């Protein structure tokens, strides 16, 4: 599979990212500032707050009524710049937040406040391996799962420690309010798979040797998908099994393993990073690769199901900004994303057919790929369109590396809370996140769909299926 790998494999130098801090507005008066077209992150410190029953006596403005609870940290209700996704971060990525995180948000469209919503606290399992250079960059923070709330301009937060003692909470707790901004390019509609279409918003003036409308960073991210699609394409076109095989053989420059050729599945349409509007200036430059792709780990984003499929690119831009700016990762954590309508998106940059090192399953990122289904699927069944897309994507990508979706493979643990570092572990070629880490991800209902997904993926590869 060397034809699918970059000529040099290594870690690019980490670049420090400055985090602009937006100061809170204490009272809910006046109009919120307009959202920045390129996206933005407001990072607000959480402070001790009184028990709900003591709020009136405390004189804290804007705090809503609620049940009496022990003292906690949080943020009084306030108006802020427009945002669409929230999450809580803290200083030490190695420290867990043991407790409950809840938020209320005010709709920018209706001015109505939501009910209290829980934010999933256990997110350490979605990260680079403990000894990876990405993990040791000095920028990585602890973080909750992100929660998509839609366009909002007001926020209230409370974080309650499991023990009831504020001192048990991690230090440096902050609420991150992410505005996805407008996409730099037009989202693909099935007609704009060539360079030059879906032009940028005017910020990309082009540089020497770069296609019109592409910055150097955008060209770098797009070039690794040539010859699957032209430079600057918003999507990589769907191909049937025969054409996908021919495309893979051509792209590998003769290095594709002969044993893999019969089992390359049809390629789904893949919306590129440019297609969903990734701001390539956020991520670290360069790409990091592993040797092969032996397994696919399926995840859910745990960001909620309150999104329309037309909003999926904005959800992705928010997740990307939360991963990089708020959590300190080098790039988007997953290799691919799938929305509830079955659209497939390119995730971490480096080339859709290459063995790109992700930060999706701590301990098992090496020689694997991560596929996240946007939404929360603990109690809600995933749509058939989404699981079908996972089957098709894995049939194609695993086929490039001659991996049987119904089979088992050996992966060496890089360390985590389920398997010690260095242990060789037998995994399903299509596994759920919980198989590699003690977590609820990908949710009980999505995890239950993995057996038929393996069968469907193998069938698409052309393997004999009973």
Name the pLDDT band for 126 (thresholds 50, 70, 90).
low
In the predicted model, what is the mean pLDDT of the chain? 84
| Chain center to CA of 127 | 11
Sequential DSSP letters for 109-150: TT-PBPPPEEE----TTSS--TTSTTTTSS---EEPPPEEEE
pLDDT at 66 over 70: no
CA-based radius of gyration for the chain: 22
Alpha helix stretches (DSSP H) within 252-311 = 273-276
Q: Where are the domains of the chain?
A: 40-179, 188-461
**Beta-carbon neighbour count of residue 58 at 10 Å?**
11
Task: Say which CATH superfamily domain 188-461 falls into.
Answer: Peptidoglycan recognition protein-like (3.40.80.10)
Q: Could you report the per-residue pLDDT of 330-353, keeping only the tens digit for each?
A: 999 999 999 999 999 999 999 999
Question: 384-400 and 450-461 are packed helices; what angle lies between their axes, rounded to 10 degrees?
Answer: 50
Pairing of strands 99-107, 147-161: antiparallel
225: nearest Cα among 339, 330, 336:
336
> Quick one: average pLDDT of 147-168?
93
pTM value is 0.85
Q: Could you report the per-residue pLDDT of 37-52, keeping only the tens digit for each?
A: 579 999 999 999 875 5
Residue reference for tokens 């923070």: 141
pLDDT at 406 over 60: yes
| pLDDT value, residue 201 | 37
* Cα three-residue angle 168-118-364, rounded to 5 degrees: 75
Q: Could you report the per-residue pLDDT of 433-457, keeping only the tens digit for each?
A: 999 988 899 999 999 999 999 999 9
């Amino acid at each position: 599979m060397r034809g699918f790998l970059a000529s040099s494999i290594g870690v690019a130098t980490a670049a420090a990212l400055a985090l602009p801090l937006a100061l809170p507005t204490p009272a809910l008066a006046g109009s919120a500032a307009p959202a920045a077209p390129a996206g933005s992150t407001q990072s607000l410190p959480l402070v001790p707050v009184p028990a709900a029953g003591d709020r009136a006596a405390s004189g804290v403005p804007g705090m809503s009524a609620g049940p009496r609870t022990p003292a906690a940290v949080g943020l009084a209700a306030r108006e802020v710049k427009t945002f669409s996704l929230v999450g809580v971060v803290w200083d030490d990525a190695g420290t867990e937040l043991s407790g409950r995180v809840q938020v209320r948000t005010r709709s920018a469209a209706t001015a109505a406040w939501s009910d209290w919503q829980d934010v999933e606290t256990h997110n350490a399992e979605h990260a680079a391996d403990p000894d990876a250079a990405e993990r040791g960059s000095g920028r990585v923070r602890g973080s909750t799962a992100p929660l998509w709330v839609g366009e909002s301009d007001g926020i209230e937060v409370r974080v309650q420690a499991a023990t009831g003692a504020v001192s048990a909470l991690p230090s440096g707790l902050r609420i991150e309010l992410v505005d996805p901004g407008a996409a730099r390019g037009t989202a693909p509609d099935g007609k704009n798979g060539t360079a030059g279409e879906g032009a940028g918003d005017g910020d990309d003036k082009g540089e020497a040797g770069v296609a019109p409308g592409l910055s150097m960073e955008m060209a770098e991210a797009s070039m690794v998908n040539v010859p699957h699609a032209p430079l600057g394409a918003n999507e990589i076109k769907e191909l049937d099994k025969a054409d996908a095989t021919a495309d893979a053989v051509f792209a590998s420059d003769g290095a594709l393993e002969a044993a893999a050729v019969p089992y390359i599945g049809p390629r789904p349409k893949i919306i590129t990073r440019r297609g969903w509007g990734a701001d390539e200036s956020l991520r670290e430059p360069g790409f990091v690769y592993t040797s092969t792709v032996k397994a696919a780990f399926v995840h859910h984003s745990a960001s909620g199901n309150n999104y329309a499929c037309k909003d999926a690119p904005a959800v992705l831009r928010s997740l990307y900004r939360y991963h990089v700016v708020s959590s300190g990762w080098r790039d988007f954590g997953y290799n691919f994303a799938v929305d509830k309508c079955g659209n497939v998106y390119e995730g971490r940059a480096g080339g859709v057919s290459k063995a790109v090192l992700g930060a999706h399953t701590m301990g098992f990122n090496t020689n694997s790929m991560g596929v996240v289904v946007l939404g929360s699927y603990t109690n809600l069944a995933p749509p058939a369109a989404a699981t079908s897309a996972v089957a098709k994507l894995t049939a194609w990508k695993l086929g490039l590396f001659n991996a049987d979706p119904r089979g088992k493979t050996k992966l060496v643990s890089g360390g985590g809370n389920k398997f010690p570092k260095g242990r060789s572990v037998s995994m399903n070629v299509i596994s759920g996140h919980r198989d590699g880490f003690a977590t609820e991800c990908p949710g009980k209902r999505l995890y239950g769909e993995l057996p038929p997904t393996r069968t469907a993926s193998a069938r698409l590869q052309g393997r004999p299926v009973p």
